[in-house]
Structure 1
Amino acid sequence: PPGARPDGPGIPRLEPGELLLVAPEEELASDLWSARLVGAYGREDDVAVQEELVKLNHEAPREFPPAALAEAARLPAAPGPADFAGREDVRDLPLVTIDGADARDFDDAVHVERRDSGWLLRVAIADVSHYVRPGRGAVGALDAEALARGNSWYFPRSVEPMLPPALSNGLCSLRPGEDRLALLVELPLDENGRPGAPRFASVVMRSAARLTYDEVRAAVSDRDGAVRDRLCRAPRGAEVLAMLEEAFALYRVLRAARLARGGLDFDLPEARYEFDDSGRVTGVGVAERHDAHRLIEEFMIAANEAVARRLGAGGGPEFLYRVHPEPDAERLEALFATLEATALESLPPHLRRDGRPDAGAVRGILARAQGSPQEFVVDRLCLRALPQARYQPENIGHFGLASAAYCHFTSPIRRYADLLVHRALKAALGRPCGEIPAGQRLVRIGDQLNRRERAAMDCEREMARRLACLCLAGHEGEHFSGVISGVTPFGIFVELEGMPVEGMVRLEDLTDDWYRYDPERLSLTGERHGRVWTLGVPVRTRLENVDMGRLEIRLLPLDMPPPGAAGQRRGKPRSGSRKNAPGTTRGRRRAATPAREERRGRRAPASERRKPGARAGRGR
């Protein structure tokens, strides 16, 4: 009964809805076991409890080892005069950080200056390599732990940082009004966004302001008088506001230049969750992404490319590129065939060149889909057709950015690859700060970072499913509109309107017909009535069930699509087609769950992220 205390000393009082960790002991029946209570995690609807489960499931890093904490404790609370030796003093520059409202680790600051021939872009990045150095004994524990973690692991209500908070939120964070060590990239850009010769320097800086994306948009894009007045009243506020005006002018030029050279621009919806004071999720919507986000993305891309060009020019230490291979012909052909059959009414005229699929056509496909009801379906289909970006010492370019040379340099607080690039750049500038890995050792480090990045992404996907289930639990029977976002032999995935949440209509619930699955068109077609379920089709559904154990949101269709066009098969199926025809199924088949399909990699998300709350680009 509620509140009952099990027999035995030290057993906590348990309440209905709590998740328990138990050890099975004896099978009493086919579906009944006796078990020993190991511990209680808390309420199932508590987001912190769900985060704990995901961290356990994926073995996310938790407490820092004592040696790493001891090394962090020996570092100063702030840099001092001895740390400034040999560095340029740029504390007079009104550099600013622009991040999400809830950000705590500020690893990049920007400044833009208008020049007669264009602009001078300055990007200052926290000099983490000054404090975190490879080695053994008293020095090296922080570096070893950062490599083991690979990156910071972000969750809706918590973070498992790559570095202890004393560094990530303190000593290395570019907090406003505080002296900080940084590496500075000065990049001249002409009126068309073409880069000139960059300059790199070790500096001491002082951020003039900690700005948020929404604040910057309100001040510059929306011309909000109240926000502009507030900025101007702050120390150096007038300088900052004038600088932001030039920053937006440069951003528009850089973005146009990148898209003109063939860069891809995915605009996939990202979830925004709402929570109450007790830790329950109360709503889910789409996080807004606007030009202030894109401005920082473009500036970080420009800085990353400048560093990659400098280090890749030859004669310097080895480092890890961030590469994104061009999709192979087979995957492109499958993508084009699917789009031609389902998602878009209008495709670019030239999808193939000399009879082979043209990877450059992907940008035209994305542009044609922009603003249409099928935009997110097309974006996801294109994204899934692309290989994942990765770290490696050999440069093969970055297809998604249409970049000949690219690396990660701008987030050393949260990515180990950036820390390695910082060390390589400082060595190239004659300020070495530790051993630089090379050869097969560097290859192995790249492989380790790729694995840790994928593991962190798996955490994000599972967490998103759990929050979606928690948000919709209790709304069974309600009606939801959506768009078909996936079709499989076992059912139909539907993305709900106004929230980036997918539910599934099981094939066994389509009891009106026998359906044939077409893997090329990604569709289910009724054998008798010719109804076609395919990508991009709007549907109205009823929420049937939310299963937290399977992480499944089960939907039932309220409407059936009209019979297909002439030529679709109708009437009674041919003899044997119900059991023997490949892809022809109905009803009784065991349905795979969305969670299972995620583990197979069906729902590959954008892998190029900065932080939760920011979009692709800054971390590409």
Structure 2
Amino acid sequence: MAKNKASNIKAVLNQLVSDIFEKNGNQLLNYKQVSAKLNLNDEESKKTILEILKEGKTSGAFLEPSPGKFKIKDLKNFLIGRVDMTADGSAYIVPDDEFEKDVFVAPRKLRNALHGDTVKVYVFAKKNGRKNEGEVVEIIKRAKSDFTGVIKLSDKFAFVMADDKKMMHDIFVPLSEIGEAKNGQKVLVTLTDWPEGAKNPIGTIKHVLGDQGDNETEMNAILAQYGFPLSFPKEVEAEANAISAKITDTEIEKRKDFREALTFTIDPADAKDFDDAISYQQLPNGNHQIGVHIADVSHYVIEGTELDKEAYARATSVYLVDRVIPMLPESLSNNLCSLRPKEDKLCFSAVFELDNEANVKEEWFGRTVIHSDRRFAYEEAQEVLENKAGDCVEALLKLNELAYILRDRKFKNGAISFESTEVKFQLDDNGKPIGVFVKERKDAHKLIEDYMLLANRKVAEFIAKKGKGNKKLTFVYRVHDSPKLESLEAFATFASRFGYKINTKTDKEIAKSLNYLMADVEGKKEQNILTSLAIRSMAKAIYTTKKTSHYGLAFDYYTHFTSPIRRYPDVMAHRLLQSYLDDKKSADAELYEAACAHSSSMEKRAAEAERASIKYKQAEYLENNIGTAYKGIISGVTEWGMYVEIEENKCEGMIRLRDIADDFYVLDEKNYCIIGQRKHKKYQLGDEVMIRVKKVDLSKRQIDFTLIPD
């Protein structure tokens, strides 16, 4: 224990010594001067500092230009970045500065850094033709300290084997820290220590999730793995439950009253939280007043309350295969804020007057009160549109007619239509998948989407134009950069193998040819692969206070205003919009930019959790089909295998290269294929193959296939 303590002290001192040189402009210092600047004048500390300087000279971190006088070899040789772990335990450090190149770090030089951690790395002098290599000198920030996994108990200790494939180390847990955990159960473990030189980190069991294979256990394990809480804190629930549902006359007087306007919601059949409603009125001049009414979450969730802090921390609702983990407690998300039919509800609205060509003639933004006349499921609204009969038929038909014009205009302006196949599972009462079906997007879905896009676009435009130049107003925008030409050209090369041409000359030409491609591949076997690769070649949409355009939608101005029950950025947009409608000064840009970065990060994490739940259900579905043969399409290639998506049910698994017996296959990354070294047989992304389900590992959410020869 004493040895570990000494190692920890030395590790801290190591960083402090480097900091002294950096702060003093890298001037020559001896160990006594460094000790004095650190105010560590005892003999033991001086001795340790001298050791650090000498060891640093040996490793190449320090120079000794004159006897006993040291300096950092090259201040530029240090950079800050994020750890991207590879399958063999080495890592690439992805620098914060996008102009810097990634730095390779061998496993022994990672200094206990884990995937996603922010670290300081020393970059070695580059040898001719070699990639950048370095060594981690400081872990600045852990990406996470909680891991889910399976606990293995012995007589004297326990280990947790993490679910996270990029967590390369089992976590040691003293028996005194295992709580009620039983051998083989799924648990949530928190790292508490990792002594220098120790092979494994030390942890304590934070939560026993339950038995492996149990649906509740596995879904909770996915949530915990991605850092989402399994329940709301008691004080947050209490605060939410204490909010009165009564809408006072005083509150109604402050708002525009839309309770007499024909209003309805259109949502999935199983939805419980209704964020948005549409109202429709034909005006005497022949134009159409269309109200996009959004739940006024900011009226109930007051800035700085425990409820607000929890909503900010979560930043988004999480949608797993069999459940929704809401951003707000149920009393708000499903009741108070939800725009349920036949109830008065408080909203924040964007109201438009559209002519018969869907041009916006007038617009108004502000707080309202509404009364929804009807709750439609998508299927019910679609039936009205197709049969031209039923509830609200005239309003729905006119709304759909105008939505078509808005949609066509968007695509003519350069928007891109990505219509990937969305798979849904049919589950039994225990959450087990008993069927798979493809979700269809019809006019009823698109109609709602078009009016939400209109509201988001016009709110962003209103704010951006309200404050220009020095009077620019801080706001939360949703932005999407144009794709990098290199990525797009690689995709164009691949798409050409299927006979599709992508014109990469201008943004409009790119969008036009991508839309032709998306329309052409719809319903074909290669749709999912080409759509997924096209999306991958695009930049990722993010939240930011820095207004730029949204490339994918071809909008100059865009925000997220329409889903505050499930997205925190929308709550921020509501608050800021109301503040500016009240002519208040611009909000703190730095504060909101940090909130935007947090929201973007949590959105990404929620998407990963959703994908993990789909992977689990795919594995569970195929568990009862071991040995069954299917037709599939190659959806990915790596150095250790190729991924295949089954055409019938869209489940994806891997054929490992070592299991293909007729040759020795290697990856040709540039051409998205694997090639046999003797017979030169090629398996390429998009090829059709016959496979057999070989093995399913539910705990790892992995499906293994074997290839059935031609």
Task: Pick the TM interval, shorter chain.
Answer: 0.7 to 0.9
- Match in the other structure for 2:198: none
The answer for the alignment partner of 1:319 in structure 2 is 475
Match of 2:697 among 547, 571, 581: 547
CA contact (8 A) 1:397 1:405 kept: yes
Question: What displacement does 1:216 show?
Answer: 0.7
Counterpart residue number, 1:185:
350
Cα distance 1:117–1:23, how it changes in 2: closer, same or farther (>3 A)?
Answer: farther
CA change 1:431–1:203 in 2 (3 A) is farther
Q: Could you tell me which of 491, 513, 518 is aligned with 1:335?
A: 491
Equivalent pairs: percent with the same residue? Answer: 32
Give 3-state SS (helix, strand or coil) of 1:198's partner: strand
User: Which of residues 297, 308, 315 is equivalent to 1:150?
Assistant: 315
Structure 1 length-normalised TM: 0.78
**Pair 1:501-2:651 in alignment:** yes
Segment drifting more, 326-335 vs 189-198: 189-198
1:351 counterpart residue number: 504
- Partner Cα distance (1:373, 1:294) in 2: 24
Q: 1:464, CA displacement in angstroms?
A: 0.9
Q: In the superposition, relative to structure 1, how do residues 366 and 449 fare at CA in structure 2: closer, same or farther (>3 Å)?
A: same
Structure 2 match to 1:456: 606
Given the alignment of the two structures, is residue 299 of structure 1 paired with residue 467 of structure 2, yes or no? no
Cα separation, 2, equivalents of 1:201 and 1:441: 24
Does the alignment pair 1:285 with 2:437?
A: yes
Contact 1:307-1:407 within 8 A present in 2 as well: yes
Q: In structure 1, what is the equivalent of residue 228 of structure 2? A: 60
Q: Give the C-alpha shift of residue 175 in structure 1.
A: 0.7
Deviating beyond 6 angstroms after TM superposition, the runs of 4 or more aligned structure 1 residues are 31-36
Instruction: Give the match for residue 245 of structure 2.
Output: 77
The one-letter code of the counterpart of 2:330 is: P
Q: Write out aligned runs for 1:112-511 (5 A).
A: 112-114=280-282, 119-135=288-304, 140-223=305-388, 228=390, 231=391, 240-315=392-467, 317-340=473-496, 342=497, 344-348=498-502, 350-352=503-505, 358=510, 361-430=513-582, 437-511=587-661
2:94 counterpart residue number: none
Distance (Å, rounded) in 2 between the aligned partners of 1:23 and 1:61: 26
Shift of 1:26: 4.2
> Structure 1 residues 120, 499: closer, same or farther in 2, change over 3 A?
farther
The one-character-per-residue Cα deviations of 1:558-584 (angstroms, maximum 9, x if unpaired) are 233xxxxxxxxxxxxxxxxxxxxxxxx
The equivalent residue for 1:595 is none
Aligned to 1:104: 272
Aligned pair in 2 of structure 1 residues 202, 513: CA closer, same or farther (>3 Å)?
same
Report the Cα offset of residue 100 of structure 1.
Answer: 0.5
Mapped to 2, the partners of 1:293 and 1:320 lie a distance apart of 26
Higher CA-based Rg: 2
SS at match of 1:456: helix
CA RMSD, aligned part only?
2.8
Give me the whole-angstrom Cα distance separating, in 2, the residues matched to 1:25 and 1:311.
Answer: 65
Give the strand-richer structure, 1 or 2.
2
**CA shift for structure 1 position 452:** 1.0
Q: What secondary structure sits across from 1:271 in the alignment?
A: strand
Q: Deviations over 1:172-229 (max 9, x none)?
A: 1111011111112112334443433411132111011111001111121245x7xx3x
Instruction: Report SS of the residue matched to 1:520.
Output: helix
Q: Distance in 2 between matches of 1:525 and 1:506?
A: 14
* Paired AA for residue 132 in structure 1: V
Retained in 2: the 8 A contact 1:78–1:171?
no
User: Could you say what secondary structure the match of 2:709 adopts?
Assistant: coil
Quick one: structure 1 residues 314 and 275, their matched pair in 2 at CA, closer, same or farther if it must change by over 3 Å? same
Q: Does structure 1 residue 87 correspond to structure 2 residue 258?
A: no
Q: CA deviation at 1:363?
A: 3.1
| Contact preservation (8 Å) 1:187, 1:195 | yes
Q: Which runs of 5+ in 2 are unaligned?
A: 1-148, 162-169, 186-208
TM-score, length of structure 2 as denominator length: 0.69
SS in 2 for 1:196: strand
Secondary structure, aligned partner of 1:318? coil
Q: Which digits, 9 at most, give the CA deviation of each residue in 1:347-405, with x for residues without a partner?
A: 24x33469x99566433433343343322211111001112110000111111111111
Task: Please tell me the residue identity of whatever aligns with 1:91.
Answer: R
Q: Given that residues 281 and 289 in structure 2 are in contact (C-alpha distance below 8 angstroms), is that contact kept between their aligned partners in structure 1?
A: yes
Partners of 2:420 and 2:659 in 1: how far apart? 29
Deviations 1:298-324 (A, max 9, x none): 110011001000111133741110001
Matched-pair contact (CA < 8 Å) for 1:319–1:424: yes
Deviations 1:31-76 (A, max 9, x none): 9999866155555443222111112212212322333233223311
Q: Separation in 2 of the partners of 1:519 and 1:357?
A: 27
Higher relative contact order (CA 8 A, sep 6+): 1
Contact 2:224 2:230 in 1 (8 A): no
**What amino acid is the match of 1:262?**
G
User: Which range moves more in the overlay, 287-296 or 303-312?
Assistant: 287-296
Q: Distance in 2 between matches of 1:372 and 1:204?
A: 46
Q: Is the 8 A contact 1:109 1:124 kept in 2?
A: yes
For 1:558 and 1:49, how far apart are their aligned partners in 2?
A: 35
Residues 423 and 436, structure 1, Cα contact 8 Å, conserved in 2: no
In structure 2, give the amino acid aligned to 1:54: I
